[in-house]
Amino acid sequence: FWLKPFWLKCSSAQQALLRLLDSTWTPEMQRQSRPLRAAAAVALALWALASCFSAVSFVGPSSPKARGGRVVARVGAGYLERNGPRDADTPWSSAQATGPAGQSVFKKRPFGVLRYQPGSDGNGAMAKELVQQSRYPGDPQGQAFVAGVQDGWVVKSINGQDVSGLKFEAVMDMLDDEVADPRFSKSTELALQSEGRYAEAAELPLTIDWATTR
């Protein structure tokens, strides 16, 4: 039948709905006075056809590892091209990050910090745009929320190592906390090739001591 080219791309349930779509266009169905039933059948079958297409990937395999259906960048290279800055960001410098804050221990990646902002001197990393909930017990992306991390806290040390004076890209490599849009996987790869890695990812569990700006 006319949907045969898409047949093998569909599950058995989707195939059943596609059979229904094909049947709605037969002369017998057209002669019957049940337009609403036919329309409903067509709508269901078209949904199945769209599902078949959505299940097919037209993008080649990507080298970054996937977490939760998204691609992990794993690099500080090109980070700001993918994640920043924003008009509402307030400039700060690593020298200002001397105020007291808290300590957080992260057992999994990602931590739940959606974006980090560098200092105006290019050093340090400030937490921005946190995930505002923990969807289930042990949700990795709810860790920062559960730990009480605040927007504007600055990473002072990672596993006991002072990173307040390190380049932003080196801090990001150590945190390894970016979950990037798959659309940026190619640009991330190119940035890594041109810039290289700035630091190795810190081991888990990862302890962060935070500071606030004065």
Chain segment 134-170, per-residue pLDDT in tens? 999 999 999 999 999 999 999 999 999 999 999 999 9
Q: How many CA atoms does the CB half-sphere of 128 hold within 13 Å?
A: 19
Which residue in 92, 143, 148, 95 sits closest to 116, CA to CA?
Answer: 92
pTM of the model: 0.62
Which residue in 72, 117, 92, 112 sits closest to 206, CA to CA?
Answer: 112
The DSSP code for 111 is -
Q: How far apart are CA 1 and CA 155, in angstroms?
A: 61
State how far Cα 197 lies from the chain centre.
20
Tens digits of residue pLDDT in 159-214: 999 999 999 999 999 999 987 666 666 777 777 788 888 999 999 999 999 999 98
Q: How many CA atoms does the CB half-sphere of 77 hold within 13 Å?
A: 18
